Amino acid sequence: MTEVQLIDACKRKEPFAQRLLYEKLAEKMYLLCMRYVTGAHDAEEVLSDAFLKFFNNIQQFTYLGEGSVQAWLSKIVVNECLMFLRKKKQLVLPVDETASIPDNDCVLDQLQARDLLKYIRELPAGYRTVLNLFVFEDMGHKEIASLLQISENTSKSQLFKARALLKQKIQDG
């Protein structure tokens, strides 16, 4: 079954198609959840909510080619993660308008993905969230600031602090 046929069947609310799509994307989306939400149970809850929202709103989805389903679902998952963190009051970012932001350190580029994920999951929720949005979701500070309802300087400061803490964790090994 092609991705187009699978989406069409999901739009008709056919359970087998929903299951196939879930099985195709669940692992990737779970790993995405785990970048934001540290507990496995919480990540499963967020994933479940995201898929429910995805299937409830699939009529609004327009297929734009291979990968567009995953991209649309990823946005839903990230938004569900952010809502979860807000609800749990874990997404509290201290305001620091005066922090200076130096250039990137290349120490992060030398890590294995699994090691980096481990260190990212150990970051405080605010640092982790801004880092994920900036690095993995490819958002700019203006977009992050709008999404999290913070200033651009706070976004920059949180990213700087996240990188510094990651560097320290890596060096401490």
- Tell me how far apart the alpha carbons of residues 78 and 113 are, in angstroms, rounded to a whole number: 19
* Whole-number pLDDT of residue 101: 40
Judge if 81 and 110 occupy the same domain. Answer: no
| CA atoms within 13 Å, Cβ hemisphere of 151 | 9
Cβ burial, residue 56 (10 Å; 0-12/13-18/19+): exposed
Tell whether 94 is covered by a domain: no
Q: What is the CATH number of the domain that holds 77?
A: 1.10.1740.10
Give pLDDT, residue 90. Answer: 59
Q: Which range of residues forms the domain containing residue 157? A: 106-172
Q: What is the pLDDT of residue 118?
A: 84
Provide the CATH number for the domain around residue 131: 1.10.10.10
- Mean pLDDT per block of 10 residues along the chain (173 residues) reads 93 96 96 91 96 96 92 96 84 48 46 75 90 91 90 92 89 79
Same domain for 82 and 110, yes or no, is: no
Query: Is the pTM above the cut of 0.95?
Result: no
Q: What was the pLDDT predicted at 111?
A: 55
- What lies within 8 Å, CB to CB, of 72 at 6+ separation is 54, 61
pLDDT given for residue 113 in this prediction: 67
Looking at the structure of the chain, the number of domains it has is 2
User: What type of residue is 72?
Assistant: W
User: Are both 67 and 33 inside the same structural domain?
Assistant: yes
Please, which residues have CB within 8 angstroms of residue 147's CB and are 6 or more apart in sequence? 82, 133, 139
Q: Do residues 141 and 77 both lie within one domain?
A: no
What distance in Å separates the CA atoms of residue 159 and residue 135, rounded to the nearest whole number? 9
CA atoms within 13 A of residue 47's CA, in its CB half-sphere: 21
| Other beta carbons less than 10 A from residue 152's beta carbon | 15
Residues 7 and 69 in one domain: yes
Q: Specify if 99 maps to a domain.
A: no
